[in-house]
Amino acid sequence: MNINALPLVQIINKHELMSHRNINDRQAIFELVSKYEDMSITGSVFLSEKDYNNLINYYEEEYLLERAVDIADCAIAQYGFTADFYIRKAVLLIADEKEEYAMGALDQAELYAPNDIVVSLLRSEALTSLELFDEALQLLELLKEGANSKDLSNIYVYESLVYEAMEENERMFYSLKAALYENPQSKDALERMWICVELSKRYRESIELHERILEDDPYSYLAWYNLGAAYAYYGNYADAIEAYEYAYIINEKFEFAYRDCAEICYELKNYQKALRCYQDTLMHFEPDEDIFLRIGQCYQQLGNNVIAKTFYEKAGRMNQFNDEVWFHIGECYAQEGRWKKAIGFFKRANKLDNRREEYLSALADAFYQIGDYKKAEPLFRSATEVAPEQNEYWLKYGFFLMEMERYEDAADLFDEAEIHAVDTAFLYCKSVCLFRMARRQEALFLLGDALDENFEMHDSLFDLMPGLMQDSDVQAIIATYQPY
């Protein structure tokens, strides 16, 4: 099937079905919240443990941690003879950086569950947050005695938290490696291993570890994902893509795998495969401005600007302050030769971020295309000031000056460019400027320097000034530097 012909309706309808499916869940929680608020007003709150947990989950997901703690306190008042809600309260307080209060909740939980390892693990996390690292490690060391493999794996995961806080990344890696040795299916360890490897740079060991895990459990999507990340670090992109594909085939709800796979494909200029990954992401997850932007870029690279603009506009409706969206729409119009439309969108992008050299350069070129040279020139100059180390913007400005037949200004510009950036093209361009100004000896001397520095680039000389192909002095000096 032609990827450009994939029906947008199919994608949108799928998303709408997902949205309808989620509406019922949202409606139920909103009704529960309303019920709780009404009860709070009357001062008589009585809910099931499940409802309390759902309310806590809701407020926690909305980052209203103090409100979630209030719900936990209501639950404790009603179901205070178990450790469960004390533990939930402690988790919330730790997340809200109120570790000392969390300790109090854990003390209460311990009264009702004196041998519950979860209480001790949370205590180690609270100690870690208070930067009492030695105490946290001592507590975890005591917990290791007599622990079974599953508990021991969890202990090592919490130990990795301590080492992460201490910025001891290698010890963090080996704690997680130990956790996976005890329980290769530990989701917590596998999830944390990705960032741990990023920090510790233990990519080679990560490959060996996850390949060993996959030998025993080929359906571990997190192991495939971590393996893909390690392969990508070493530039083994084909293996990385395959690993990411296994990850999301095994778990079609694993969003990171789709996105990371798509990113690699995009960087490799495999836009059709990248587009399929992004479209699969849309089929399974709520869209965001980034995914619409990326889909638009894929379509643009595939030459379908009409659909590209459709997705850019979707991204823009989600966030009108996303400068990249308006810039890429401008690019689409520029590619179509609709320069005035392009200028409007480039201006909008530049207004949101006037320190992006590509925006300034694109706007300059658009003004140049419609013959408004007075507006174009200061924008070309601004691009070189924002990114003086990037040769392309010096060259664009220089070419503009040459087009205006301002050869002396262009020659001076290429001298300035050499102070900030490195490119033999500056020498070739300045040589052409000198030829145009009838300063032949200087031009030939500079051409010799350019040929000595990069002979392969000499054809650009004739692109800029075709008449030099018949210049005997030029041909003689080229022959002098011709490599054997």
pLDDT tens per residue, range 52-98? 899 999 989 888 999 999 999 999 988 888 899 999 999 999 999 99
The arithmetic mean of pLDDT across residues 184-191, rounded, is 96
481 backbone dihedrals φ, ψ, rounded to 5°: -100, 5
- What is the pLDDT, as a whole number, of residue 15? 42
- What is the pLDDT, as a whole number, of residue 51? 87
* DSSP secondary structure letter of residue 79: S
Rounded Cα distance between 287 and 265, Å, is 20
Q: Predicted confidence band at 27 (pLDDT cuts at 50, 70, 90)?
A: confident
212 backbone dihedrals φ, ψ, rounded to 5°: -65, -40
Residue 416 has pLDDT above 70, yes or no: yes
CA 252 to chain centre: 20
- What is the pLDDT, as a whole number, of residue 312? 98
Using the structure block, give the residue that is written with the tokens 């869940």.
25
Q: Predicted confidence band at 9 (pLDDT cuts at 50, 70, 90)?
A: very low
Residue 3 has pLDDT above 50, yes or no: no
Contact 185, 220 (CB under 8 A): yes
Residue 20 has pLDDT above 90, yes or no: no
Residue 12 has pLDDT above 50, yes or no: no
Rounded Cα distance between 48 and 412, Å, is 79
Residue 423 has pLDDT above 70, yes or no: yes
Residue 414 has pLDDT above 70, yes or no: yes
How high does pLDDT run on average in the chain? 92
Q: What is the number of residues in the chain?
A: 484
Q: At what angle do helices 391-403 and 425-436 cross, to 10 degrees?
A: 10
- Token duo for residue 65: 């941690």
Contact 287, 8 (CB under 8 A): no
**Tens-digit pLDDT profile for residues 301-342:** 999 999 999 999 999 999 999 999 999 999 999 999 999 999
- What is the pLDDT, as a whole number, of residue 103? 95
183 φψ region: left (φ > 0), alpha (ψ -120 to 50), beta (else): beta
Position 302, amino acid: L
The arithmetic mean of pLDDT across residues 455-482, rounded, is 95
Nearest to 322 by CA among 289, 281, 295, 359: 289
Using the structure block, give the residue that is written with the tokens 């300034």.
360
- Give Cα separations from 211 to 149, 154, 188, 243, 358 (angstroms): 21, 22, 18, 11, 42
- Between 313 and 47, the higher pLDDT residue: 313
- What is the pLDDT, as a whole number, of residue 41? 76
Using the structure block, give the residue that is written with the tokens 């009704």.
31
Please, what are the domains in the chain?
Answer: 287-387 (1.25.40.10)
Position 32, amino acid: L
**Tens-digit pLDDT profile for residues 334-376:** 999 999 999 999 999 999 999 999 999 999 999 999 999 999 9
Residue 2 has pLDDT above 70, yes or no: no
Rounded Cα distance between 270 and 257, Å, is 17
- What is the pLDDT, as a whole number, of residue 374? 97
CB atoms within 10 A of CB 473: 13
Q: Predicted confidence band at 37 (pLDDT cuts at 50, 70, 90)?
A: confident
Using the structure block, give the residue that is written with the tokens 């192909």.
469
